[in-house]
Amino acid sequence: MTTSAAAPFTGRGRRGGERPPDRYADLFAAYRAELDHVRLAEHSRRAYASRVAGFLRWLDTDGAAADPTGADPLSDAHARDFAVRDYRAHLLAVAKRRPATVNAHLTALDHFFTWRHLGRAVVDRADLPEQAPRALSDDEARRVLRAAERLPSLRDRTIIELLYNTGVRCAELVALDVDDAPVTARTGAVHVRAGKGRDGGKPRTIPANPRGRRALSDWKPARATWPNADNDPALFLNRYGRRLSTRTVDQVVADLGRSVGIDDLSPHVLRHTFATAMLRRGAGLVLVAELLGHARTDTTRVYTKPTEADRVRAVELLPGDS
């Protein structure tokens, strides 16, 4: 187990962020320092830290009596299992988290307890519904794109267009350099140098469609007027002339969604929309998997499953007396 004497991490994100109870501050600081050396994308490290901090906050209050023997769940394997099972139930029944979100929390706790030399908790994953991930309907997509065209920030407009028209992940978008998105009037591409996974995923190239090319063609000259544009290669800069963060992209997308009445809009919903739209319009599974950067087509196949809207349309086909 790491004994690094890192300073306590006090950053805060959504839903409380990475702030554990005081009595677990040193333990959490050591874990956070360990995460800095793990081969994960930065947004994944932040997510792990935030989820572990959430577990520690719950343990400090509701989970204090998780094990009837009174053993410490942070040092005893049996007590660990009791605590994580109760926390899973808490996330589902009290916090009303979706099964996929609950499983993401359990994955973070697997990593945390492995670091504690206790190994993974013996806890079943939450059952996932057999349906496709949330994607925009055609009407929602039109509303989002029309709203994006009215955004005063050309940078933000280009972000929305690239997320929607290339299906790149948020972390991949902010990692792009100017040279990774060459564009002319007739051709264009987005070169993803490192994707998702322990080894950075496979590099891939996504052709830019006309909307994507137009957005890039408009943004690149405008980018040249931003602070530090000549010195930082990042395609998207913040107001201080540094590479844009995934958190800012999340906020840009969420704000746009709320402006058109779509409260759950996120970069990942735009990625899901890209994949779903292509598959439903006849693109092959292998091709879509390649464009998304999926190592296995089974991962892509989830987009062929029925959505909630599909289920609604199906039951509305039943004959009635009206």
For residue 104, the SS3 value is: helix
Distance, in Å, from the CA atom of 110 to the CA atom of 38, rounded to the nearest integer, reads 14
φ and ψ of 234, to 5 deg: -55, 140
Residue ranges in the chain assigned as alpha helix (H):
25-35, 42-60, 77-89, 99-115, 138-149, 154-166, 170-175, 210-223, 246-259, 267-280, 285-292, 297-301, 308-315
* Token duo for residue 319: 């004959």
Strand partners, 243: 237
Of 79, 76, 81, the residue nearest 67 (C-alpha): 79
- 213 CB-near residues (< 8 Å, 6+ apart): 183, 184, 185, 187, 188
Distance, in Å, from the CA atom of 42 to the CA atom of 24, rounded to the nearest integer, reads 23
**Active-site residue list:** 169, 196, 268, 271, 294, 303
8 Å CB contact between 80 and 112: no
For the chain, the straight-line distance linking the first and the last C-alpha, in angstroms and rounded, comes to 68
Distance, in Å, from the CA atom of 139 to the CA atom of 167, rounded to the nearest integer, reads 19
- 318 CB-near residues (< 8 Å, 6+ apart): none
Residue indicated by tokens 């996120």: 266
